[in-house]
């Protein structure tokens, strides 16, 4: 196994998917920033759906990768959650308190909207409240859905290697997915991406698990995933593409040299959070420059990309 594979994990191509999702979200916020700060009367809408698609891909990948890593290492309930806390909270807390520092110590006219310190809003931020308008780190709402998935999965993490070998496991995935589709809410739609990810994970690894394969339950899982065409077409397409990518990589594994896209994929979480600060800051700086020197309009993109480098 190459050094790159040890660093990025077995499915290296998955990190290209993560990089793609990161770029979708970045382009969406880039466009939103231009619309809010520069041309509010005539907003740009080229990437209006990229943000939700990028988040959906991230949710799917969580559902795919968490079971995969749990096969490699057995962890108790507390070990699993502590690992996630150590992975998520340091960067999240840094960004949260940096935002608070700006609110407390910078002039009010720096901000595009009224920003005041609110203790309740801080608590909601720290608890990943699922409403971007009620937290300081506006992208933190997506982490609330991830944490629900993490907590639920933590109950099974210690015995996951045994559970996944049971023939009923694909039936459990199918049942969860159908229940979410029957609920038919925005929240259940978000969670369905995690479950589809877990289903695709099972399809690409069940031959390696050497469990008691029950083909009847396997066919039920495949049929349920196919019903996503009608209930969650985006989730189905993401799952189909990732399945093909992983299948190709398993058939023809390659040693890839580190490159920019792999680096973006590996640093996607940090980049995702740091843009909370970078995109409004870069907009303010570049807008001030462009007002005095219109020909320097590309400065926004330069400032934005430079500031995003903090995420690496």
Q: Is residue 108 included in any domain, yes or no?
A: yes
Give the residue from 21, 70, 53 showing the smallest Cα distance to 190. Answer: 53
**Predicted confidence (pLDDT) per residue in 29-50, tens digit:** 777 766 666 555 555 567 777 8
Q: Is residue 293 included in any domain, yes or no?
A: no
Q: Is residue 144 included in any domain, yes or no?
A: yes
The larger pLDDT score, comparing residue 254 to residue 32, is at 32
Measured distance CA(156)–CA(120) in Å, rounded: 33
Q: In this model, does residue 300 exceed pLDDT 80?
A: no
Q: Is residue 106 included in any domain, yes or no?
A: yes
Give the residue from 32, 53, 54, 52 showing the smallest Cα distance to 44. Answer: 32
Q: Is residue 57 included in any domain, yes or no?
A: no
Q: Give me the chain's average pLDDT, please.
A: 79
pLDDT of residue 15: 83
Q: Is residue 143 included in any domain, yes or no?
A: yes
Distance set, CA 94 to CA 111, 120, 273, 276, 277 (Å): 20, 18, 10, 11, 11
Q: Is residue 1 included in any domain, yes or no?
A: no
Measured distance CA(123)–CA(167) in Å, rounded: 43
Domain that holds residue 95: 76-157
pLDDT of residue 281: 59
**Predicted confidence (pLDDT) per residue in 197-247, tens digit:** 999 999 988 877 766 666 888 899 999 999 999 999 999 999 999 999 988
Measured distance CA(311)–CA(263) in Å, rounded: 11
Residues with Cβ within 8 Å of 201's Cβ and at least 6 positions away in sequence, in order, are 63, 64, 65, 67, 68
Q: Is residue 248 included in any domain, yes or no?
A: no
Number of domains in the chain: 1
Band (269; pLDDT cuts 50, 70, 90) = confident
- Residue identified by tokens 């806390």 is 85
67: which 2 tokens?
């079971």
Three-state DSSP string of the chain: CCHHHHHHCCCCHHHHHHHHHHHHHHHHHHHHHHHHHHCCCCCCCCCCCHHHHHHHHHHHHHHHHHHHHHHHCCCCHHHHHHHHHHHHHHHHHHHHHHHHHHHHHCCHHHCCCCCCCCHHHHHHHHCCCCCHHHCCCHHHHHHHHHHHHHHHHHHHHCCHHHHCCCCCHHHHHHHHHHHHHHHCCHHHHHHHHHHHHHHHHHHHHHHHHCCCCCHHHHHHHHHHHHHHHHHCHHHHHHHHHHHHHHHHHHHCCCCCCCCHHHHHHHCHHHHHHHHHHHHHHHHHHHHHHHHHCHHHCCHHHHHHHHHHHHHC
Question: What pTM does this model have?
Answer: 0.84
Band (75; pLDDT cuts 50, 70, 90) = confident
Q: In this model, does residue 5 exceed pLDDT 70?
A: no
């Amino acid at each position: 196994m190459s050094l790159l594979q040890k660093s990025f994990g077995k499915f290296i191509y998955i990190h290209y998917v993560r990089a793609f999702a990161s770029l979708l979200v970045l382009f969406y916020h880039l466009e939103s920033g231009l619309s809010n700060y520069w041309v509010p009367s005539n907003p740009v809408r080229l990437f209006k759906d990229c943000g939700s698609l990028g988040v959906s891909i991230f949710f799917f990948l969580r559902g795919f990768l968490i079971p995969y890593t749990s096969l490699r290492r057995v962890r108790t309930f507390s070990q699993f959650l502590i690992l996630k806390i150590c992975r998520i909270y340091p960067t999240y807390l840094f960004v949260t308190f940096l935002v608070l520092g700006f609110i407390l110590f910078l002039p009010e006219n720096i901000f595009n909207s009224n920003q005041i310190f609110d203790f309740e809003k801080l608590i909601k931020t720290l608890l990943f409240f699922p409403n971007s308008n009620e937290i300081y780190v506006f992208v933190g709402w997506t982490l609330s859905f991830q944490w629900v998935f993490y907590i639920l999965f933590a109950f099974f993490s210690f015995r996951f290697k045994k559970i996944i070998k049971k023939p009923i496991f694909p039936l459990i995935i199918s049942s969860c997915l159908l229940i979410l589709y029957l609920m038919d809410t925005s929240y259940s739609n978000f969670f369905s991406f995690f479950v589809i990810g877990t289903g695709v994970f099972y399809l690409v690894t069940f031959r390696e698990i050497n469990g008691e394969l029950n083909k009847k339950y396997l066919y039920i899982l495949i049929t349920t995933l196919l019903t996503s065409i009608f209930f969650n077409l985006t989730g189905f397409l993401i799952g189909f593409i990732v399945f093909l990518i992983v299948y190709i990589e398993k058939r023809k594994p390659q040693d890839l040299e580190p490159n920019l896209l792999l680096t973006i994929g590996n640093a996607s979480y940090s980049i995702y959070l740091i843009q909370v600060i970078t995109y409004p800051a870069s907009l303010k700086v570049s807008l001030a420059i462009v007002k005095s020197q219109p020909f320097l309009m590309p400065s926004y993109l330069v400032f934005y990309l430079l500031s995003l480098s903090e995420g690496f």
